[in-house]
Amino acid sequence: MNRKFLKTQLVFLSFLALFSLTLSATDPVALMDKAAEASGGDSFKELESMVVHGNISMAQQMNGQIEMTMKESGKSKVKMTLTGNGMQMVAEQGCDGENCYDSNPMMGARLLQGQEKEQFKISNNFKAAYEWREFYKDLEYQGEAMVGERKTHKIKMKTSAGIDMTQYIDVESSLLLRMDMVTIGPMGQMNIESYFEDYKDIYKGIQYPMKSKMTMMGQEVLITFDKVEVNQPVPDSMFELPPSLKAQVQ
């Protein structure tokens, strides 16, 4: 009798363990936590600044360099120097931790507002993957999907700015391979698909994609990073608003 009881108990416990594993495999919260750990986990606590250098290729044969500078407290700056078709242009986006802006030759300098501002702050926060609860909500698991030849978990969510987003997390590595979202800009809503690959360890296990591709409005933007600097001194003055915008926030 005791042996039969123990056998039954063992089967029951095995069932519970299997059931628990099945739930965690489809629980979007557990999957996001696993992705946060795979991306670098607690090493993000030591990350104070990051500067990423690379090359960018856009439509209309526009090519050039891109530099992304990020610092704690939500400070960030993206600078692109592009050449093509006999012209050169410099475009910038940045945030001083509170106010964010966009500056380019076609539209001049302007402050970002509402969802556009909040989405920029999320997209350029180097701890978003680790501190995901601060930036994403209303998670919904939507099954498995293929990204190229990789099987992924598809998770639909909203950003803290209320923007729809879908993340595709690799089943094996738990790293983000694709992200779809609806962005708000001066031209209205745009659907953007972003793909990430060639992850590298940049600091104590923190994984960063050295290649990315974005598709929007039928156009592709390709970015390849070749240098990442971590925890180098970055003055707050780098994130100051352009002079023409400072008066608007005083």
pLDDT confidence of residue 13: 43
pLDDT confidence of residue 18: 40
pLDDT confidence of residue 210: 97
Q: How far is CA 202 from CA 79, 205, 209, in A?
A: 21, 7, 10
Taken in order of first residue, the domains within the chain and their CATH numbers are: 2-249 (2.50.20.10)
pLDDT confidence of residue 15: 42
pLDDT confidence of residue 3: 58
Block mean pLDDT (10 aa), the chain, length 250: 52 42 70 96 97 89 92 94 87 94 90 89 91 95 96 95 93 96 76 95 97 89 95 96 87
Distance CA 215, CA 57 (A): 12
pLDDT confidence of residue 22: 42
- Nearest in space to 178 (alpha carbons), one of 207, 140, 150, 203: 150
Map the chain to HEC letters. CHHHHHHHHHHHHHHHHHHHHHHHHHCHHHHHHHHHHHHCHHHHHHCCEEEEEEEEECCCCCEEEEEEEEECCCEEEEEEEEEECCEEEEEEEEEECCCEEEEECCCEEEECCHHHHHHHHHHCCCCCCCCHHHHEEEEEEEEEEEECCEEEEEEEEEECCCCEEEEEEECCCCCEEEEEEEEEECCEEEEEEEEEEEEEEEECCEEEEEEEEEEECCEEEEEEEEEEEECCCCCHHHHCCCHHHHHHHC
